Structure 1
Amino acid sequence: MTTIYDFSAKRLDGSDIALDAYKNQVLLIVNTASKCGFTPQYEGLEALQKTYGPKGFSVLGFPCNQFGGQEPGDAAAIGSFCQLTYDVTFPMFAKIEVNGDGADPLYAFLKAQKPGLLGLQGIKWNFTKFLVDRTGSVVERFAPTTKPWSLTGAIEGLL
């Protein structure tokens, strides 16, 4: 059976990392953007990271510019924004596409595992969230409007 551990991702610095580096952790995988109405969710995502990180949890941020051009910066600009504006400590990855022919393979997998409303696989907007259990299985998908703090029960249930 395929899990998220079968994929790799490119970090903001351009280096590759196999996602099995996050084995046995609960993960929240989020497509992010610096100039989105939902961008303030970085604060809540970081709060989740600080609260649950020591217990085996991590947020993984994947910048995406497919929705209204809301992530126009390069890797350096994205990293700087996240650090200076929200003091982000969770891993941020290189900018990817989440929909269409150029969709990152990880996101193709996430969408297939947990389609959205009416069974549609496409990501509707930035800050769509996928909750992954310690075995690498996708447990739940949350809409961009879902506030990070509202996920505490689901996260605690998996920890």
Structure 2
Amino acid sequence: MSYFHATNKKMINGELIIPKYGRAISHQQNLNNAHLRAQYNKEMIFEEVRKESYSAMPSRLDSIYFVEGLENARKYAIEKGYKYIYSVTFLTSCRILTADMSWLDISNKQLKKDDIVEIAHNYFSGKNSENCFWEYLSNGKVSVHEKFELQESE
């Protein structure tokens, strides 16, 4: 299996990927924005579900995100507006969570907490949705290798 990481950061071969999502989503400045506060609240519910029912799985808040296969990486990078794709190498043995990221899109709607809890269970248990798109999370040491730049024509 070949895994790829998408980002807007230009990186060099062998550079470690540093998890940033948890710090970014909980930054005080972001909590003043209604959309980002809702995203933060959703992530806190997901984290609560993970701790209670899937504690062996990596946390979304301190993980590195990647996808399998270059074509999936290109699709993801274009959809999310990333400039670069890097192949990755795992430097330590680690647990990898395989989850359907489409559950996150569903959970972005105005839902009650119980609905988000159910979606979080679907996500962490590896259940696929109707529009399944697999993402992989790891809390191990991961470095980048070959870089693939995305052109607007792609």
**Greater relative CO, 1 or 2 (CA 8 Å, sep 6+):** 2
Query: Which structure: greater strand fraction?
Result: 2
Larger Rg: 2
Using structure 2 for the length normalisation, give the TM-score.
Answer: 0.27
Query: Which structure: greater helix fraction?
Result: 2
